[in-house]
Structure 1
């Protein structure tokens, strides 16, 4: 007994078919596939726009040829022997001209020359006065016209410009000729679009797509392991935008790898500094006990030397503390409340004077001015700014520190004035950078950087307003309190 079941489909054939479809789908949705599709589509669209006036011109030329042939047939009929041509001669002349009937108009009289009545729908085609739009519309109507229609052609003979000739032809031959013309144009358009699209595709593939793919692969590989020098992109010698992108990528990779190396060095340095700070603070603590005893000595000279030693050791301890504080991963989140600015400045000034010695203190901030700030952060900001000013006025007998405040655009701007020697121009560019040279003796290079960082965390800022031989002025801008 024969088995009527269909043969089983092989799994391998199905998998290959799916793989082929997947490959075609990927190729169609890739950048080269989209480029090829767009190129072919745009060329076809251009051909379609060109085809419409071409078809209209073909139809007009076909009708003109029939009108000219009919005119020649009419002239032959007029010159034939006898007063009236026979029916066979009329049919022979009409078939030779591929027309149904011929008439002419002269002197306002319409005269039938050849042919007879027409049974069917008649469409008028005036070749003496037709616009391009009307010709295109008529060509489209001919392509879509039903069978059995006739066209009444009105034209002006070249040999008799004072007459108009009326020719009736069947539309079916014109329709067939127009369809054949359209098929030729369609085939030629598809061939041109494929050749043009392929040429553009190959050109752009080598000029743009392949270099962009190399750039994309290089960026992906670099993202996986930025620290590997073997993944660096080697830029070509191209002078166009692709070459600029390659060189920019190579430069960016070099900068990123340098930053990685610097980060590694800084991490190692940070670990070493933390260890050194720990040991150094222990050493300074022992030295501070001895310096305190020297400062309390009954001998005035020894006591003066001890006091200076105490201040020097305090600077060393402060340098260690500030270095560790700056090395923290992040500051505590600010918790802004309304703070009396005058009291905050007095409190921070007291701590600064206790560490570095008193000076002439002038606080002219109004008692009712309040700012929105974290009290601890504001205290540290003022303390660092005051210490910076006191260090700038070190050993000046008439040292004076003055603070004032003004309201400006919803903010409170506090000015810290000192009468130090001013900040050199070469120092001002890096004044707020960590561990930069401050121009003052005993400066750590961290105070101003920490002050600005804390101020910006509160939505404000710290800046150097002016500096000259008569002193420097720093400005602290903070948000004004709601009741300030």
Structure 2
């Protein structure tokens, strides 16, 4: 029972520690404590060396005073008195060095104990820090032979023999006090730095993270958009940037929802309009076939108007479906495909000259239906643009470049107005042609992209317009 409780308690403690260090604030606190303790370790040896020097210096001064007392008493000191003087200085023997001669003032038997020479007349920091380690690791019964300069007589030297054990105990006590002080200082410093970072950085960063998470859960909720603070530092800039990005995403989502609803409504309206146009076309065909010239003329105009309406409905529906179609890429010969498209669209007997200069062996990787629609849009636009022009010539050529085929379509139309060129491939951007919906080139660009190709306007002007369609070659 007891072992199980202890094991459970240790497991819970480990979970708490891991949870605390898992957060950014917990890691900062742990790092601060580690850094302060590391700094304390770096200053330990200089501090311990200084403590050791002071301890030995105090014993040297006490031994010097004992030597002065022995001199004043001359030969009246008993053995017990000598021992008391030495015990007061924690020394075994004291000698004076004057004029190069050593004179024993107080002494006792040192036995066969190992000796350690310690010269404090010359200070050497590195050697003193190494002596700290030597004090901890030396024999228990070792004696220190200390050479020092008395404070009251700087021209003399004093030689003191004292046991190292009291020095070792004093160093251990000093090390323990320094460790607990460093631990306390690291905890206090770490807590203060943690609180400062928590208020200044961790808290705001946590709010940013929570705001992003909440917004991700429901980006269409305006209440989840972050309200930035008035901070002027990097966190304030991040808050304002995040709030602006969330607002843009929210606006885009709402715009997309509106467009989706509008698209659904347009699709339904288009379906109904096509049925209405189909019925109206039957009536207009009968009017156009009337023997009365005025009625027939009005019927022809009505036929053309209804035809434009039907094309508008078809283009809108095609645009709505084009992004959902997945192409089935296969080798397709360009020359016969373009002749087929031109045969359907180029009006016979109306002066439009069709020139197909593509070599029979050139083929591309594409979806045949998509290619038919792509080039059909371009050819239809060119024929509309060249209406009434003389000459009206539409030529097509192809060039193989690496693994791509560049198809060039050139007409002799009046060119595309500069105001339209900037938005040429955008939806509902019309070139101004009669009956134009502004969707043909947008659909064409999407179809080319679905087949890993592209379409560009190479040139346009009074002499005509040139489009280049780049597709993957099949060779």
Please tell me the TM-score bracket, short chain as reference: 0.7 to 0.9
Measured in 2, the distance between the counterparts of 1:329 and 1:407 equals: 27
Select which of 439, 448, 451 maps to 1:455. 448
- State the partner residue of 1:95: 87
**In the superposition, relative to structure 1, how do residues 317 and 158 fare at CA in structure 2: closer, same or farther (>3 Å)?**
same
Measured in 2, the distance between the counterparts of 1:153 and 1:341 equals: 105
- State the partner residue of 2:334: 341
Does 387-396 or 300-309 show the bigger shift? Answer: 300-309
- State the partner residue of 2:371: 378
Task: Give the TM-score taking structure 2 as reference length.
Answer: 0.83
Does 348-357 or 319-328 show the bigger shift? Answer: 348-357
- State the partner residue of 1:405: 398
Secondary structure of the equivalent of 2:275?
helix
Measured in 2, the distance between the counterparts of 1:198 and 1:253 equals: 35
Per-residue deviation at 1:250?
Answer: 2.7
Secondary structure of the equivalent of 1:327?
helix
Secondary structure of the equivalent of 2:345?
helix
Do 1:311 and 1:355's aligned partners in 2 also have CA atoms closer than 8 Å? Answer: no
Q: How does 1:62-461 map to 2 (within 5 A)?
A: 62-67=55-60, 69-70=62-63, 81=74, 91-102=83-94, 114-115=106-107, 117-127=110-120, 132-154=125-147, 166-292=159-285, 310-328=303-321, 330-353=323-346, 359-461=352-454
Secondary structure of the equivalent of 1:227?
coil
Do 1:311 and 1:356's aligned partners in 2 also have CA atoms closer than 8 Å? Answer: no
- State the partner residue of 1:51: 44
**In the superposition, relative to structure 1, how do residues 312 and 346 fare at CA in structure 2: closer, same or farther (>3 Å)?**
farther
Per-residue deviation at 1:182?
Answer: 1.6
Q: Which runs of 5+ in 2 are unaligned?
A: none
Does 242-251 or 470-479 show the bigger shift? Answer: 242-251
Question: Alpha-carbon deviations, 1:194-234, whole Å to 9, x = none?
Answer: 22122222222222333333334433433443333333332
1:473 aligns with 2:469: no
Does 99-108 or 377-386 show the bigger shift? Answer: 99-108
**In the superposition, relative to structure 1, how do residues 322 and 329 fare at CA in structure 2: closer, same or farther (>3 Å)?**
closer
Does 455-464 or 300-309 show the bigger shift? Answer: 300-309
Per-residue deviation at 1:461?
Answer: 1.3
Per-residue deviation at 1:74?
Answer: 5.7
Per-residue deviation at 1:452?
Answer: 1.5
Does 210-219 or 380-389 show the bigger shift? Answer: 210-219
Per-residue deviation at 1:175?
Answer: 1.4
Per-residue deviation at 1:160?
Answer: 8.1
- State the partner residue of 2:457: 464
Measured in 2, the distance between the counterparts of 1:27 and 1:361 equals: 78
Measured in 2, the distance between the counterparts of 1:259 and 1:357 equals: 47
Per-residue deviation at 1:30?
Answer: 3.6
Does 249-258 or 98-107 show the bigger shift? Answer: 98-107
Secondary structure of the equivalent of 1:435?
coil
Do 1:28 and 1:34's aligned partners in 2 also have CA atoms closer than 8 Å? Answer: yes
Measured in 1, the distance between the counterparts of 2:409 and 2:111 equals: 110
Measured in 1, the distance between the counterparts of 2:389 and 2:98 equals: 123
Do 2:322 and 2:446's aligned partners in 1 also have CA atoms closer than 8 Å? Answer: no
**In the superposition, relative to structure 1, how do residues 189 and 20 fare at CA in structure 2: closer, same or farther (>3 Å)?**
closer
Measured in 2, the distance between the counterparts of 1:396 and 1:308 equals: 22
Question: Alpha-carbon deviations, 1:274-331, whole Å to 9, x = none?
Answer: 2221222123223434555666678999888766655543332222112112223843
Task: Give the TM-score taking structure 1 as reference length.
Answer: 0.81
**In the superposition, relative to structure 1, how do residues 330 and 85 fare at CA in structure 2: closer, same or farther (>3 Å)?**
same
**In the superposition, relative to structure 1, how do residues 60 and 395 fare at CA in structure 2: closer, same or farther (>3 Å)?**
farther
Do 1:384 and 1:447's aligned partners in 2 also have CA atoms closer than 8 Å? Answer: yes
Measured in 2, the distance between the counterparts of 1:435 and 1:385 equals: 16
Question: Alpha-carbon deviations, 1:235-269, whole Å to 9, x = none?
Answer: 22222233223323332332233233323322332
Does 112-121 or 391-400 show the bigger shift? Answer: 112-121
Q: Which runs of 5+ in 1 are unaligned?
A: 1-5
Q: How many residues align?
A: 472
RMSD, matched Cα: 4.0
Measured in 2, the distance between the counterparts of 1:424 and 1:401 equals: 19
Per-residue deviation at 1:98?
Answer: 2.7
Question: Alpha-carbon deviations, 1:434-476, whole Å to 9, x = none?
Answer: 2223343332222112111121122111122233333332221
